[in-house]
């Protein structure tokens, strides 16, 4: 069910960036877990700013490609939860839930709409 418009998805993307950048402090992440989370937040900000939708500034990544990237990232995050972060209860839980949330947003977003300004 595609109930999220590109405009709403853009708002969610910016909230996700804020959440990722705040998460190491909020949840007490350190080391690799903190570094990975900060890096993911920065990469997600760049993806959002470069996407051709209302949240984008430079608009060079087509919205369907943005969606494909988010699908792949969601799957990879769930896999990383049980591999890279398997020894960290906080990391495993965070990335399993966060990856599932990314996949849920992907499932609910209409990536076929070309532009919403």
- Is residue 62 a part of any domain in this protein? yes
- Is residue 115 a part of any domain in this protein? no
Stated as kind and residue range, the H or E segment containing 61 is none
| Structural domain span for residue 59 | 6-108
38-93 tens-digit pLDDT: 999 999 999 999 999 988 999 999 999 999 999 999 999 999 999 999 999 999 99
- Is residue 1 a part of any domain in this protein? no
Nearest to 23 by CA among 13, 34, 12: 34
Q: For residues 96 and 78, is the Cβ–Cβ distance under 8 A?
A: yes
pTM above 0.95, yes or no: no
**What phi and psi values does residue 61 have, to the nearest 5 degrees?**
-100, 120
How far is Cα 58 from Cα 61, in angstroms, rounded to an integer? Answer: 9
Measured CA angle at 81 (ends 13, 96), to 5 deg: 55
- Is residue 114 a part of any domain in this protein? no
Tally of domains in the chain: 1
How far is Cα 71 from Cα 102, in angstroms, rounded to an integer? Answer: 7
């Amino acid at each position: 069910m595609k109930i999220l418009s590109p405009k709403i998805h853009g708002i969610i993307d910016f909230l996700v960036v804020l959440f990722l950048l705040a998460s190491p402090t909020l949840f007490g992440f350190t080391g690799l877990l903190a570094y990975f989370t900060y890096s993911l937040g920065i990469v997600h900000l760049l993806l959002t700013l470069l996407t051709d939708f209302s949240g984008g500034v430079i608009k060079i990544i087509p919205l369907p490609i943005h969606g494909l990237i988010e699908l792949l990232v969601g799957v990879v995050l769930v896999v990383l939860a049980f591999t890279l972060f398997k020894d960290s209860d906080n990391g495993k839980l965070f990335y399993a839930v966060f990856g599932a949330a990314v996949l849920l947003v992907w499932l609910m977003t209409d990536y076929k709409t070309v532009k919403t300004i």
